[in-house]
Amino acid sequence: MEILAIVTVERTKVGGGAPIFYAQDQQELTELALLLSRVLGASVHDLQNNVLIIVRH
């Protein structure tokens, strides 16, 4: 599994080597993650803490 991107509304909860995209609210979080997953041909996984990861299995 490879983490391609992280999408969050919480700036203090994430870090690391993957690109991080910050959303303004829950709706933008969902839309951005869905768009990125389509473009990257990957899957979205919800970590249940306002953080979504885009992964390729």
Please count the structural domains in the chain: 1
- pLDDT, one tens digit per residue, over 40-49 is 999 999 999 9
Q: What is the model's pTM?
A: 0.91
Q: What is the pLDDT of residue 16?
A: 87
Which range marks the domain in which residue 48 is found? 2-56
pLDDT score at 35: 98
Tally the C-alpha atoms within 13 A of residue 16's C-alpha that lie toward its C-beta: 12
Strand duo 43-46 + 51-56: pairing: antiparallel
Answer whether 17's CB lies under 8 Å from 6's CB: no
Write the DSSP assignment of 40-52 as a string of letters: HT-EEEE-SSSEE
